[in-house]
Structure formats: C-alpha cells, structure tokens
Structure 1
Amino acid sequence: MKKIGIFYNFQTHKTKQQVKKIIKQLGEKYVEEVNLDDATHQDVEKFDFFIFAVPTWFDGELPYYWDEFLPTIEDDDLKGKKFALFGGGDQKKYPEFFVDGLGIMAEFIEKRGGEVVGFTSTEGYNFESSRAQRGDQFVGLALDIENQAALTDERIEKWVADLKKAFQVK
C-alpha cells in the first residue's frame, strides 16, 4: 500500500495538533507529512491518497500557503487519487463562511478529476452557510476549536475510522 500524504503548513499550531491526532489514529507507518512551504508537484505525484488540512481564514478564504501551492498542481490530472479534507472554522465569528476553505478545495480537486472522500454530517453545528456543505454533509471534517473544542477528538476519531476504509488502511 502506498502511504497517505498529509499536506499542511508545519507552522500552524492548531492544525498541527489535529494532524498529530489523525496520524496517531491512522498509524504512523501509513502517513507521510508534507510541509506546504516546501511542497512541489512531485510530492503530489508520489501519493494516491491525500489528507489536506485546509483551515478557513477571514471571510471564507484559503490560507496564503494554499494559494501559493495550488498553482503548482493546477494543470494536474488527479483522476484515480483520493482526497480527504479537514479544517477549522469559527461558527460564531464567521457563520456565513463556516469552513468555506473545505468547499473551495473540494471544487479544485474535483475539477481535476480527483475524488473527495470523508464527508461528515452537518448535525451539531450552528452556522448560516458554507461552501463546504452538500445537502446535510460537509465535504470533509469541519472542526471548530474555538467554540466546540470538546467535540474535536470524537469527530476526528469517527472521521479517521471512515478514512481507513476509503484509503484501504487495516
């Protein structure tokens, strides 16, 4: 089995904490961390399975490091590759843009033929709108560390159990 590439910015404290929990539950031998500050087109070529950590900034924007990385794979054909997305948002301060980054990333991946896996329920969240919402699900794992920190570990555990099936991890 090929390793799962988990792409995130190593300087993001909250995201890094969640990445460590995900890696522990998936199993370290299955995962390779990739720092977005150093990521290249070749990093995408070597994986079939991906986890992208995509927090939402401000009024529904991608963080600058994703804006800088995505052009390097803009012309890639992602067919046959599976992507799981997770990221943080704030339901209270930005209820009209809650985890929009996940939706932006899902659209980017799907336009290039990639498959997004790891959808999660919108139940238990209180927000106005989200580009990450499809019906009663998010296109990935939505985390709100600011307002629902007590639910984070349980949400990660359930999400990772689903990813193990999608990524063929035993």
Structure 2
Amino acid sequence: MKKTGIFYGSTTGTTESVARLIAEKLGVSPADVHDVSKLDAALAESYEALILGTSTWGDGELQDDWYDGIKVLKNANLSGKTIALFGCGDSESYSDTFCDGMGILFEDLKDSGCTFVGAVSDSDYTYASSVAVADGKFVGLALDDVNESDRTDARVSAWTEMLKADLA
C-alpha cells in the first residue's frame, strides 16, 4: 500500500473519530493520522497518498483548522500524489450546504497535480444541495453522523474497500 497519511480538521471530535476509523479499516498506523493544525509541507510531501477530512460549518464553510491547512497544501508539491476526501455534515439542518467543506477542499486542490480517488454516488443520500457533488457523485465520502450515525460504519467500510485498489 502507498504510504498514506490521514489529515483531519475536527471541532467536536466527529471528524477525528471518522479519521481513526478509516485508518483502522485501511491498516494505516495511528502515527500517520494527523490533526491538520499540525500540518506542514514536509509532512504532506512525505506521503504518497493523503486522505483529507473536514466537517462543514455555518453556511457551508470549512472547519476552522483547514483555513491554514489548505494554504500549506497549496504550497506543497502534490504532483503525482493520490488524494481521497471525506466530509462530515448534517443533511437535515444544513441540507443546502451538505458536506460543502469537502467540496471546498476539492476545488482548492484540483489543479495541484494530484489524482483524486474515492468519489461516491449521491443516490443513497437525502440533501438539497452540495458543492461537493459533480455528475451525481460526491467528490469523496459524505457522512452524516448527526442523523445517520447508524450508516457511518457501513459507508466507511464500503469506501475503504473501494480505496484499497487506488492505494495499492
């Protein structure tokens, strides 16, 4: 498997918990799971694959720690890297900005020379709008641990199984 680092921004702990679950299912060492607030270019560049996770806040905004984290990644050499995204959101209370944070990460990094993997069909979700959707697919794994926590483990399991081929 490619050397994989998982980076998360988490205010309430949900995104961090999901990051650790993803690491467990992929066999990524806990030492390779990082709070994005500690990210620097050398750390990002030390991995062949990056899994990036954020929650969505307010009117479709990134989790606070990602504002600096995305600046670091934009200045890092991501050419040839494999990147997978996951996002946490609330599809009932914030149906019109569901997992927008994940879409912001995608937009900010899409021209960096990396290859995105892990898009997920939106057909199994109920939401009004999301900038994280293109052509009927989320740009990564969308999770609603607020209203659909009973589906989180199965969604993470299916996604990580799909990712294994891209991370081989």
TM-score, normalising length: structure 1: 0.91
- Give the direction of change, closer, same or farther, for the CA distance of 1:106–1:10 in structure 2 (3 Å limit): closer
Equivalenced residue count is: 168
- Distance (Å, rounded) in 2 between the aligned partners of 1:166 and 1:103: 20
Secondary structure in structure 2 of the residue aligned to 1:55: strand
More deviation in 65-74 or 143-152? 65-74
- Distance (Å, rounded) in 2 between the aligned partners of 1:32 and 1:74: 20
- String of CA shifts for 1:33-52, please: whole Å, max 9, x gaps: 12212211111110110100
Secondary structure in structure 2 of the residue aligned to 1:127: coil
Structure 1 stretches of 5 or more lacking a match?
Answer: none
- Distance (Å, rounded) in 2 between the aligned partners of 1:167 and 1:12: 29
- Distance (Å, rounded) in 1 between the aligned partners of 2:31 and 2:139: 21
- Residue 87 of structure 1 deviates from its aligned partner by 1.3
Secondary structure in structure 1 of the residue aligned to 2:50: strand
Q: Does 2:113 match 1:113?
A: yes
Kindly report structure 1 stretches of 4+ aligned residues shifted beyond 6 Å: none
More deviation in 75-84 or 48-57? 75-84
Secondary structure in structure 1 of the residue aligned to 2:52: strand
Q: Does 2:18 match 1:26?
A: no
Counterpart of 2:101 in structure 1 is 101
- Distance (Å, rounded) in 2 between the aligned partners of 1:114 and 1:28: 20
Does structure 1 conserve the Cα–Cα contact (< 8 Å) formed by 2:41 and 2:75? no
Counterpart mapping for 1:4-153 below 5 A: 4-9=4-9, 12-29=12-29, 32-153=32-153
Does structure 2 conserve the Cα–Cα contact (< 8 Å) formed by 1:4 and 1:51? yes
Secondary structure in structure 1 of the residue aligned to 2:96: coil
Residue type of the alignment partner of 2:38:
D
Structure 2 stretches of 5 or more lacking a match?
Answer: none
TM-score, normalising length: structure 2: 0.92
- Distance (Å, rounded) in 1 between the aligned partners of 2:156 and 2:91: 18
- Distance (Å, rounded) in 2 between the aligned partners of 1:18 and 1:33: 11
